[in-house]
Amino acid sequence: MHNRTRKLPESVVQCPEVSTLLLQGNDLLKIVPEGFLMAFKSLKVLNLRKSRIKKLPQSLLQLRELRALLLRLCVDLEELPPLGGFTKLQVLDCHYARRIKELPQGMDELSNLRELDISYTSALRHIQSGTLSKLSSLEFLDMSWGANGRLTRYAELACLERLTALYIDLDISRLASGSFEWIERLKRFHFIIGDRSNATDSFYRSGYTEKRVTVLTLCLSGKYFGWLLNNVSTLTLYSCEELEKFPESLGSNVCYSALRSLTIAYYNGQFLSSNAGFCQIPNLELLELHRVHHLESISQLASTLGLEFSKLRKIEVLCCDKLKYLFSVGGSTSALEHLVTITLFGCEELEELFAYGNSGANPLPHPIVFNLRRVDLHRLPKLEHLSGENESWNCLEELEVSECEKVRKLPLTAESAKTIKHIVGEPEWWSRLKWNDQNTKSSLQQNHP
């Protein structure tokens, strides 16, 4: 594997004991000769990942002991031979085999198939009705961006009683009322709702460890999909409209305690004066905002969407061009005791992280972010204040600052030197910083290269 093999021999010595054949990563390999596989009749695993083959030899059909056929990233593969005789096959991986136009004959006979990945098979336009429902052992199915990205026969999925992981585009208008039991038994999933044609795929790619929903280019007014979010841990809203209607989409006075991560990207709407009136998302741990225009503060967003930040661990805000501050301290925003990471980039109107009112003093009896571990600040030309007057970040371990010319004072003390590991910033910026005492500067100097 990964040895840039160009050519396989037509025939080799019989290898009846070989159970695994690893040929992945040979991106110069274009042909598997007919006679080559005949030497491996006991083969259980065949891995041709990232090779340039266009088709598989008919001799593959003799490998009746095969358990896993791995064709991931075989971008030139155009067809598969009939697989009906592979009654022991458990894994079929065709991820990004983008030239496959149809599933092989006999797919509905693979009663022991547990994992099927046909994601990013953009040429695959159709899956014959009844094929999926006959894969009775199927546990994992990824067909995102495959079969035109959509499956409309959700009743077939309901038949798959062992299915626990599912990754598909979902048309919620086609789901009949009361047909959600098959969704509730899933342990991992990623459902994509809406038109992904203009979306950056980094926002809808996901790992296989979470329960995730991504909503793309959808007007949220009049849409109700709260039933879908009951057990969702990660939600992304990409280029949606009428965000202020989102609480209505979730249903009134319904709490989504499982939701831990929220990403809002490419939102151009105005934030009208509104209040969700009820905390619908109380356990949020990760908040990502990418190009959310017209947003002036995260507190404003919390009021609109019914967010609670007491368990928030990470904030990432990129290119929100009207943002003036992150949080208004006091009122609904108390101490963010679990917040450990803040990342800010390209927010040109941002003046301060926390708005304390005219006095500049923290109205709370304790620091608002006393467990902060990492802060990244980049391209924030108006940013001046990082904290209240007498606050310090004594748990901070890493600080990176660039193009933040107005930041003149860091909320660090000599005590901070006990925890801080490194500080990254331009030498000119570092030399202009003001310090309460020389001991603080001396203690931290060793952490700034």
- Hunting for tokens 């396989």 — which residue is that? 8
Per-residue pLDDT of the chain (449 residues; tens, 9 = 90+): 556 788 898 887 888 899 999 999 999 999 999 999 999 999 999 999 999 999 999 999 999 999 999 999 999 999 999 999 999 999 999 999 999 999 999 999 999 999 999 999 989 877 888 899 999 999 999 998 776 555 657 888 889 999 999 999 888 777 655 567 788 889 999 998 888 776 666 655 656 778 999 999 888 876 667 778 888 999 999 999 888 888 777 776 778 899 999 999 999 988 765 555 678 899 999 999 999 999 999 988 888 888 899 999 999 999 999 999 999 886 556 689 999 999 999 999 999 999 976 545 555 556 789 899 999 999 999 999 999 887 889 899 999 999 999 999 999 988 887 899 999 999 999 999 998 888 888 888 876 76
pLDDT of residue 378: 98
Tokens describing residue 205 = 């790619």
Q: Where are the alpha helices (DSSP H) in 42-170?
A: 154-158
Strand partners, 167: 142, 190
pLDDT of residue 273: 56
What CA–CA distance (Å, rounded) separates 97 from 373? 42
Q: Is 263 helix (H, G, I), strand (E, B) or coil?
A: strand
pLDDT of residue 275: 57
Strand partners, 114: none
34 Cβ neighbours under 8 A, 6+ residues apart: 10, 57, 58, 59
pLDDT of residue 411: 92
What CA–CA distance (Å, rounded) separates 319 from 383? 14
- Amino acid making up residue 369: V
- Amino acid making up residue 309: F
Phi, psi of 248 (to 5 degrees): -65, -35
Q: Which domains does the chain have, with CATH numbers?
A: 1-172 (3.80.10.10)
Torsion sign across C-alpha atoms 111, 113, 117, 118:
negative
With contact defined as beta carbons under 8 Å apart, do 311 and 258 qualify?
A: no
* Closest alpha carbon to 310 in 284, 289, 330: 284
92-108 burial string, b = 16+ CB within 10 Å, else e?
bbbbbbbebebbbeebb
204 Cβ neighbours under 8 A, 6+ residues apart: 144, 190, 192, 196, 214, 216, 236, 238
Tokens describing residue 141 = 């199915």
With contact defined as beta carbons under 8 Å apart, do 155 and 180 qualify?
A: no
- Strand 115-117 to 140-142 pairing: parallel
- Amino acid making up residue 54: K
What CA–CA distance (Å, rounded) separates 133 from 141? 12
